[in-house]
A = this chain, B = another copy of it.
Protein backbone atom coordinates (compact mmCIF):
# COMPACT_ATOMS: atom_id res chain seq x y z
CA UNK A 1 0.00 0.00 0.00
CA UNK A 2 1.30 3.42 -0.94
CA UNK A 3 2.07 5.79 1.94
CA UNK A 4 3.30 9.35 1.39
CA UNK A 5 3.56 12.77 3.05
CA UNK A 6 0.31 14.73 2.95
CA UNK A 7 0.01 18.21 1.51
CA UNK A 8 -2.73 20.83 1.33
CA UNK A 9 -4.35 19.10 -1.65
CA UNK A 10 -5.13 16.19 0.70
CA UNK A 11 -7.27 18.33 3.00
CA UNK A 12 -10.59 16.98 1.71
CA UNK A 13 -9.48 13.35 1.83
CA UNK A 14 -8.01 13.70 5.32
CA UNK A 15 -11.06 15.48 6.69
CA UNK A 16 -13.32 12.79 5.21
CA UNK A 17 -11.39 10.25 7.29
CA UNK A 18 -11.08 12.32 10.47
CA UNK A 19 -14.62 13.66 10.53
CA UNK A 20 -16.54 10.48 11.46
CA UNK A 21 -13.95 9.56 14.09
CA UNK A 22 -13.83 12.98 15.74
CA UNK A 23 -17.61 13.50 15.51
CA UNK A 24 -18.20 10.13 17.20
CA UNK A 25 -16.05 11.39 20.10
CA UNK A 26 -15.34 7.95 21.50
CA UNK A 27 -11.66 7.34 20.72
CA UNK A 28 -9.81 10.68 20.50
CA UNK A 29 -9.88 13.27 23.30
CA UNK A 30 -11.00 15.92 20.83
CA UNK A 31 -14.04 18.17 21.02
CA UNK A 32 -16.61 16.24 18.90
CA UNK A 33 -17.74 19.57 17.42
CA UNK A 34 -14.24 20.61 16.33
CA UNK A 35 -14.44 22.65 13.10
CA UNK A 36 -12.89 21.24 9.91
CA UNK A 37 -9.97 23.68 9.77
CA UNK A 38 -9.10 23.28 13.45
CA UNK A 39 -9.10 19.50 12.98
CA UNK A 40 -6.79 19.76 9.96
CA UNK A 41 -4.48 22.15 11.83
CA UNK A 42 -4.36 19.71 14.75
CA UNK A 43 -3.63 16.72 12.49
CA UNK A 44 -1.28 18.31 9.96
CA UNK A 45 0.65 20.61 12.32
CA UNK A 46 4.04 18.96 11.76
CA UNK A 47 4.17 15.84 9.54
CA UNK A 48 0.99 14.17 8.25
CA UNK A 49 0.73 11.20 5.90
CA UNK A 50 -1.90 9.49 3.77
CA UNK A 51 -2.10 5.77 3.00
CA UNK A 52 -3.97 4.10 0.18
CA UNK A 53 -3.59 2.93 -3.42
CA UNK A 54 -6.62 4.31 -5.27
CA UNK A 55 -8.85 5.54 -2.47
CA UNK A 56 -7.48 7.11 0.74
CA UNK A 57 -7.40 4.27 3.28
CA UNK A 58 -5.83 5.95 6.29
CA UNK A 59 -3.94 8.92 7.65
CA UNK A 60 -1.51 9.53 10.48
CA UNK A 61 0.73 12.22 11.91
CA UNK A 62 4.16 12.29 13.55
CA UNK A 63 5.11 15.17 15.81
CA UNK A 64 7.23 16.07 18.81
CA UNK A 65 5.51 14.86 21.97
CA UNK A 66 7.06 17.68 24.00
CA UNK A 67 9.16 20.73 23.21
CA UNK A 68 12.60 21.61 24.57
CA UNK A 69 14.19 18.75 26.50
CA UNK A 70 11.36 16.39 25.51
CA UNK A 71 11.58 16.93 21.75
CA UNK A 72 13.45 13.66 21.07
CA UNK A 73 10.27 11.64 21.68
CA UNK A 74 7.53 11.67 19.05
CA UNK A 75 3.79 11.23 19.29
CA UNK A 76 1.64 9.74 16.52
CA UNK A 77 -2.07 9.42 15.80
CA UNK A 78 -3.68 7.07 13.26
CA UNK A 79 -7.10 6.96 11.64
CA UNK A 80 -8.24 4.24 9.24
CA UNK A 81 -10.90 5.25 6.72
CA UNK A 82 -14.39 3.92 7.36
CA UNK A 83 -14.78 0.86 5.11
CA UNK A 84 -11.04 0.18 4.99
CA UNK A 85 -10.83 -1.61 8.34
CA UNK A 86 -9.48 -5.16 8.60
CA UNK A 87 -7.13 -4.85 5.61
CA UNK A 88 -3.91 -4.22 7.49
CA UNK A 89 -4.01 -0.46 6.97
CA UNK A 90 -3.30 0.32 10.62
CA UNK A 91 -0.41 -2.15 10.74
CA UNK A 92 1.09 -0.71 7.54
CA UNK A 93 0.82 2.85 8.86
CA UNK A 94 2.40 1.84 12.17
CA UNK A 95 5.35 0.11 10.44
CA UNK A 96 5.88 3.10 8.16
CA UNK A 97 5.66 5.59 11.01
CA UNK A 98 8.25 3.72 13.09
CA UNK A 99 10.75 3.87 10.20
CA UNK A 100 9.86 7.47 9.40
CA UNK A 101 10.19 8.55 13.04
CA UNK A 102 13.69 7.03 13.15
CA UNK A 103 14.57 8.84 9.92
CA UNK A 104 13.34 12.09 11.46
CA UNK A 105 15.77 11.54 14.34
CA UNK A 106 13.34 10.62 17.10
CA UNK A 107 14.58 8.25 19.79
CA UNK A 108 11.23 6.95 21.05
CA UNK A 109 7.52 6.98 20.19
CA UNK A 110 4.76 7.55 22.73
CA UNK A 111 0.97 7.40 22.63
CA UNK A 112 -0.37 9.56 25.45
CA UNK A 113 -4.02 8.68 25.60
CA UNK A 114 -5.02 5.17 24.48
CA UNK A 115 -8.48 4.31 25.74
CA UNK A 116 -8.27 1.11 27.75
CA UNK A 117 -11.35 -0.28 25.99
CA UNK A 118 -9.56 -0.06 22.60
CA UNK A 119 -8.12 -3.54 23.00
CA UNK A 120 -7.58 -4.06 19.28
CA UNK A 121 -5.22 -1.08 19.02
CA UNK A 122 -3.49 -2.00 22.28
CA UNK A 123 -2.88 -5.56 21.02
CA UNK A 124 -1.45 -4.22 17.75
CA UNK A 125 0.91 -1.86 19.53
CA UNK A 126 2.06 -4.40 22.10
CA UNK A 127 2.90 -6.82 19.29
CA UNK A 128 4.95 -3.98 17.75
CA UNK A 129 7.02 -3.60 20.91
CA UNK A 130 5.12 -0.90 22.78
CA UNK A 131 4.78 -1.14 26.55
CA UNK A 132 2.18 0.36 28.84
CA UNK A 133 4.10 2.89 30.97
CA UNK A 134 1.12 4.63 32.56
CA UNK A 135 -2.58 4.29 33.30
CA UNK A 136 -4.74 7.40 33.79
CA UNK A 137 -7.77 6.43 35.89
CA UNK A 138 -11.23 7.37 34.59
CA UNK A 139 -9.50 9.70 32.14
CA UNK A 140 -12.14 9.50 29.40
CA UNK A 141 -15.87 9.96 29.81
CA UNK A 142 -18.20 8.69 27.10
CA UNK A 143 -21.34 10.53 26.10
CA UNK A 144 -23.45 8.20 28.26
CA UNK A 145 -21.48 9.08 31.39
CA UNK A 146 -19.40 5.90 31.60
CA UNK A 147 -15.65 6.27 32.15
CA UNK A 148 -12.64 4.37 30.89
CA UNK A 149 -8.98 4.55 31.84
CA UNK A 150 -6.45 5.85 29.31
CA UNK A 151 -3.05 4.21 28.84
CA UNK A 152 0.31 5.75 28.03
CA UNK A 153 2.22 3.48 25.63
CA UNK A 154 5.87 3.80 24.65
CA UNK A 155 8.68 2.19 22.74
CA UNK A 156 12.23 3.17 21.97
CA UNK A 157 13.11 3.39 18.26
Contact = CB atoms under 8 A, between A and B. Distances in A.
Given A30-B67, A69-B140, 18 more contacts: A29-B67, A29-B70, A30-B68, A31-B71, A34-B67, A66-B113, A66-B139, A69-B141, A69-B142, A70-B141, A73-B139, A110-B136, A133-B137, A134-B134, A134-B135, A134-B152, A136-B152, A152-B152
A63 interface: no
Contact of A141 (B29, B72, B135): B72
Interface of A: 25-26, 28-32, 34, 66-73, 107-108, 110, 112-113, 133-143, 150, 152, 154, 156
B25 A69 contact: yes
Contact of A68 (B29, B112, B154): B29
A135 B137 contact: no
Contacts of A28: 68
Nearest to A132: B134
Nearest to A151: B134
Nearest to A141: B69
A154 B29 CA distance: 18
B70 A113 contact: yes
A101 to B, nearest CB: 15
Nearest to A66: B29
A150 B108 CA distance: 14
